[in-house]
Chains A and B, each alone.
Chain A
Amino acid sequence: MSESDVIIAKDQTMPTGQVSLIARSAILIASLVFVLMMAVGLLLRSVQGGFVTIAPDMFYKLMTLHGVGMVGAAGLAGFAVMWYFLNKYVALSKAMFLAFLGTFLIGVVVIIGSIMIGGFGGAWTFLYPLPVQSGGVWEAQAAILFLVGLLLIGVAFLLGYLDVGRALIKEYGSLAKSIGWPALFGNAEAPPPTIVASTAVTIVNVIGTVAGAAIILMSIFNAIAPTFSVDALLAKNLTYFFGHVFINASIYMTVMAVYEIVPLYTGRAWKSSKIFLIGWTITLFMVMAVYPHHLFQDLAMPPWLLVAGQIGSYVSGIPVIAITTLALFGYLFKSGARWDLSLSLLVLGVFGWAGGVIPAIIDGIISVNKVMHNTMWVPGHFHFYLLIGMVSMAFGFMVWIGRQGTASAFRGVEKLSFAAYVIGGLGLVAMFLISGANSVPRRWAEHLVQWQSYSQLATVFAVITVLGAIAMLFYGIAGAAKTATKT
């Protein structure tokens, strides 16, 4: 142990043994998928940049794989983080987590089969009627297989959330109590931040899963019997309600790593203040109410709903993100925290989450959206808060859980890897946003020569990001291996 080494923050109340092993395994699987899908993303950008040539149908297959893989891995990583920390406060079932993971992985295999063997390339959003109107590129069976895979993943998450709900109700009596309403509207003691956030996530994701299952069932039936047509606007509403809630919930779950790990560095407990409780209660409703901002280009939507979506988009960023970010500043300020890779990744994650919302809010303005929504601006905003935000927090958790209690320091090579991830990630996001601002369309397999310079620069940044991510995965695996040897 050298002088620069510090003991990585550890809390004796943190779950150990099988709980830790299960969470470590899940976060490593998710991180491995992140890195693999980043490599796929790098390939996509290099195709758009003209560096590599692949057939357009392969491009769309890879784009679908990248999207669904990232969303699935985000859900898995978030759930692993939430499940691990929830075990501090409530008794969760390990068997249910394994049932969740098993069903999830079966769903993943089915989806990969539908894409790589069946040729499905209708994007992860499976927006009706594209899955069943492929123009002969893939058969209806491939679309059905893809949808069945999504359904299995939905079932997996439903099982997981039901167990979380059961445990919260058993410990606190009701979800109203575990989200902190008696403390908010009375003088009861507030539950810990992880409990509050978990409750909000459980409620919204169970509702989202019901909506998702309904539209997936309709789409499957429509693929089998095409004369039973689905109303395209209804399909889009249900799909984006489910998709919006799911991906936001994955960020909300991962931010629990910040609530639980940062206090170990600062020595200041993250408290469930009234402002915090208000934020999560508002988020509970806002995350479900703002999904119409995905439908601004659908002129048949009721105008009041679109206006509500725009106002909601402005407001929804404030409660949790602003409160979490400001609180993080407060907790870090003059705390004497010793910076290491895990803490740096967690703080970077909060920055990415908060920063990514800014281009999202800009795109959430109806007049801007009409011009920008089908441009690279949109992947710009979601890569900002997923790549820099959510994934950074997941990596931070992965590194921390493997190292807690051991002697380590923020070594030079780690700083370099971290810098690569930050510079690569921000550069990639900037290229998406700049391309979007210059009206470069998204989801196009082939780009005009005039657009290619953006993609070429993005490819360079993507290479740097992937290298940084591989290094993070290596640190995660090394930490897990060390812990396994120790135990």
Chain B
Amino acid sequence: MALARMGHNAFLIGGFALWLFLVLPGTTDILEANLPSHFLVQLPLLALVGWLLGCDPRIGRVFRTADWNRYGITGLVLALLALLFWMIPRSLDASLIDGCMAVAKYFSFPLLVGLPLRLSWPAAPFFVKGFLQANLLSMIVFLAWLYHAAPVQLCNSYLREDQLLLSQFLIKIFFVLSVIFAFKPIFGFSPTRILSRVSEQFGQHLVRYQDGHS
């Protein structure tokens, strides 16, 4: 029981620690220095903060049993609306020069994207998940094209070269995510199961090796 509580707290502590790390001036300077790291590292990590908070069953219980979040629809819509706002280059740009927008970003990504996603995703029906995954893939290609085809610099804070670099990264992410999304439906198990089996076997080998030498 105490162990379980410690595990729950670990998610909360981990989430807060990650959030503190991300809002440290030094970290923000590094992550916001160029468009790809801002878009593809800082924002997902801020969402991960919310995801970790949502892993605490005490928070999860409140939301999952709520009538207003049946099938996770409300939470997913909330997360999508928040993402929609932050997908606009202007919003991202404003977060670099406007303190209020920066604060909004640091709070909204964990609380309006990561947390609702974690709490709503497991409750969502298969077709909602599949639809959102397919939509995400199309949108990644679209965004890659948008940043590549933009005839002008979209953000005041980033050069056009940054846009082109982001576009290339997005295409790579598209292929990686396509494989990840397709893996479980096709093979019936998550790719993480392979990793856990490999690490399990590695652990068994290690134990045997140590036994052999002791």
Contact = CB atoms under 8 A, between A and B. Distances in A.
Interface of A: 96, 158-159, 162-163, 165-166, 169, 173-177, 203, 206, 209-211, 213-214, 217-218, 221, 227-231, 234
Q: Which residue, of B134, B138, B142, B151, has the highest number of chain A Cβ atoms within 10 A? A: B138
B127 A206 contact: no
Nearest to A166: B126
Contact of B134 (A169, A210, A234): A210
B110 to A, nearest CB: 28
Contacts of A163: 127
A442 to B, nearest CB: 30
Nearest to B142: A217
B198 interface: no
A158 B127 CA distance: 9
A214 B188 contact: no
Given A166-B126, A213-B135, A176 B187 contact: yes
Contacts of B130: 158, 162, 165-166, 206
Interface in B170-211: 185-189
Q: Which residue, of B146, B151, B185, has the highest number of chain A Cβ atoms within 10 A? A: B185
B127 A159 contact: yes
A162 B146 contact: no
A174 B142 contact: no
A169 B187 CA distance: 10
Interface string B120-138: 0000001100110011011
Given A159-B127, A166-B127, A221 B142 contact: yes
Contacts of A96: 127
Given A175-B185, A221-B142, 8 more contacts: A158-B131, A159-B131, A162-B131, A169-B126, A206-B134, A211-B141, A217-B142, A227-B152
A173 B145 contact: no
Contacts of A175: 185-186
Interface in B57-93: none
B76 to A, nearest CB: 15
A174 B187 contact: yes
A214 B131 contact: no
A312 B134 CA distance: 27
Nearest 8 A-B pairs (CB), nearest first? A174-B188, A214-B141, A213-B138, A166-B126, A162-B130, A162-B127, A217-B142, A214-B138
Contact of B185 (A169, A210, A230): A169
Contacts of B185: 165, 169, 174-175
Contact of A173 (B149, B151, B188): B188
Contacts of B134: 158, 162, 206, 209-210, 213
A228 B135 CA distance: 21
A304 B135 CA distance: 31
Given A166-B126, A173-B188, A210-B138, A227 B131 contact: no
Contacts of B150: 228
B131 A169 contact: no
A228 B188 contact: no
B145 A218 contact: yes
B126 A162 contact: yes
Nearest to B186: A175
9 contacts: A162-B131, A177-B188, A213-B138, A214-B138, A214-B142, A228-B149, A228-B151, A229-B151, A231-B149
